[in-house]
Amino acid sequence: MFDVAQRLLDQSEHDVMWVGDDQRRGPVLHVAPIRVAGILRERLYGDRTVVLTSATLEARRRLRVGRPQRGSRRA
């Protein structure tokens, strides 16, 4: 908890902060690093080669990959 409080006080340009709403606790302040590659390399993967991808998609929305081509019709 002390580490999180210190990061909040430092207001580093390398961190992002936001307030979330927890049903049991009410508003909760969060802090997280913007770039996590170094942390993952140091604490989890070491010298191994890995490929990470994001699979976050919204429900009920079509997946669009890339930008529409000029002159193409929108679906």
Q: Within 13 Å and on the Cβ side, how many CA atoms surround 68?
A: 7
- What are the tens digits of pLDDT across the range 31-41? 888 888 888 88
Within 10 Å of residue 4's Cβ, how many Cβ atoms? 14
Q: Which pLDDT score, from 0 to 100, does residue 28 have?
A: 86
Predicted pLDDT at 22: 87
Interatomic CA distance for residues 2 and 22, integer angstroms: 21
For residue 10, pLDDT beyond 80: yes
- What is the average pLDDT across 41-61? 78
Q: Where are the domains of the chain?
A: 2-45
Percent of the chain with pLDDT over 90: 4
Q: Which helix (H) or strand (E) holds 32?
A: strand 26-33
Instruction: Quote the mean pLDDT of the chain.
Output: 78
